[in-house]
Amino acid sequence: MKNIHLTYLNGPDIARLALSNDEILAAVEQGLLAQGNGQTVIEPRVHLTPDPAFRGHFNVLRGYIAPMNLAGVKIVGDYVDNYKQGLPSEMAMLNLFDPRTGMPVAMLDATFITDARTGAITALGAKHLARKSSKVLGHIGARGTAYWNVRLLNHLFDFDEIRIHSRRPESREKFAARLEQDLGKKITITEDWESCVRGADIVVEASRLEEPTPLLKTEWIKKGALVVPYGTMSAVELSLTDIMDKMVVDDWGQCKGGPFGSLRAHVNAGKLSEQTLHAELGQIVAGQKPGRQSDDETNLFWHRGLSLSDIAMGHALLQKAAAMGIGQQLVYA
């Protein structure tokens, strides 16, 4: 038997590939399209908490995309104190396989993938559910995924005002400086949640709370806004879903179960259910369900992170790497 090789893309490789905003959005949208067309398999994520004292856990995401001929498993750590050691809170590895034989195809550093695909899902949700004329963004949180939320949302909407807030002043100031340099526009740092959120056209809640705490008040959300809450721990009031015209998720199978998620209490209370859910985003991308239909709609998009988005990003990176001659071939067997 001849040697079996797999492709390894490390962090520097992926940085050299430098996927553009449009390449990221296109890759993730292809994954959503396949999902909407019933050409995928998604296994709900599972968690591993090695020791509560470590203040972190692992998420294991699994999926299959038929048009890309890839199955994948991503393992990502989520450790809230990593900043104290100068480490990202989320570090990840993506393994891709041939779904017909089980043969390993590739291993990729998935830290960038995790951040960028999360921002892409946020932006694509807004593409279909926010007002086209949205000009004010209110963003809570400054972790790794926050940068790509703002960058890709701004790429689609070219905001007049971007407000940000996070718990630690040093993190929000560093975040604002990076955004101002990369986006070339003024970023407004707010001292509290209300001044960040009230009256914004698009509200993204990506906080990192230790336990559920309703810091985002329903009364601050203006009519016609889009709210995207996706923190691990809920930061919204139970009444948030009461004002929504459409509620959309990335995958109902993983949103309806498990201990974590920004709308866990809403699912448990029956406020978000199969009856009240408007659609999964993939159904809207595939044209099976409508997105926003009027400027008066107040909409909500909850995403927990799709294995399909990781696999789609991995597919795009592998294709570009092959074209550019980047990456290493490792002997598997």
Domains in the chain: ranges and CATH? 5-113+308-331 (3.30.1780.10), 130-304 (3.40.50.720)
Strands 104-109 and 90-97: antiparallel
What are the beta bridge partners of residue 328? 8
Tokens linked to 107 = 């291993």
User: Alpha helix locations (H) across the chain?
Assistant: 11-17, 21-36, 111-129, 144-157, 169-183, 193-197, 252-255, 264-268, 281-285, 307-324
- Whole-number pLDDT of residue 250: 94
- Nearest in space to 310 (alpha carbons), one of 121, 98, 156: 121
- Whole-number pLDDT of residue 1: 61
Helix 144-157 × helix 169-183 angle, to 10°: 40
Q: What percentage of residues in the chain have a pLDDT greater than 90?
A: 80
Q: What percentage of residues in the chain have a pLDDT greater than 70?
A: 100
Per the confidence metrics, is the pTM higher than 0.85?
yes
Least confident residue range of 116-120, 210-214, 281-285: 210-214
Instruction: Please enumerate in sequence order all residues whose Cβ is within 8 A of that of 293, keeping only pairs 6 or more positions apart, or say none.
Output: none
Distance set, CA 138 to CA 32, 188, 216, 221, 246 (Å): 25, 9, 11, 11, 20
